[in-house]
């Protein structure tokens, strides 16, 4: 968003904390994702920071152009990271009800279920 006086900061949006992926509860540290009004994606896989952009159309969203830090974690955390990143690939359906978000390609069973919090990802 911009105005005559220059760009303005997007309004704070919830951070979505991923509670489960494909019906499997997430382990700590849990993945988090935030979609800003200016089309950016920021978050964490629980191990690595992720960033990129997104576009939304009707009830679908596509995350692309992502970058990610390259740190290692436990085998369980690395498996969770792989499942989370797979769930974000391509066009995904999404559904928001209150403080709950379901996001992912439902045909693969990798739907992410997340709850919101208002604090920014640090």
CA atoms of 56 and 59, how far apart (whole Å): 7
pLDDT in tens, 20-69: 999 999 999 999 999 888 999 999 999 999 999 999 888 889 998 779 99
The whole-number average pLDDT for the span 74-103 is 91
pLDDT in tens, 1-22: 333 443 443 445 689 999 999 9
The whole-number average pLDDT for the span 97-104 is 87
* SS3 assignment, position 100: strand
Provide the pLDDT for residue 36.
Answer: 87
In SS3 terms, 28-77 reads as CCCCEEEECCCCEEEEECCCCEEEEEEEEECCEEEEEEEEECCCCCCHHH
State both tokens at 3.
Answer: 């105005």
């Amino acid at each position: 968003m911009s105005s005559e006086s220059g760009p303005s900061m997007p309004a704070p949006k919830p951070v979505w904390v991923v509670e489960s992926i494909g019906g499997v509860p997430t382990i700590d540290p849990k993945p988090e994702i935030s979609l800003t009004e200016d089309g950016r994606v920021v978050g964490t896989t629980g191990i690595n920071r992720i960033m990129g952009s997104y576009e939304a159309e009707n009830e679908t969203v596509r995350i692309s152009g992502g970058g990610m830090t390259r740190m290692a974690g436990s085998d369980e955390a690395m498996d969770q990271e792989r499942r989370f990143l797979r769930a974000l690939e391509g066009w995904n359906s999404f559904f928001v009800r209150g403080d709950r978000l379901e996001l992912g390609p439902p045909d693969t069973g990798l739907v992410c279920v997340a709850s919101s919090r208002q604090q920014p990802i640090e």
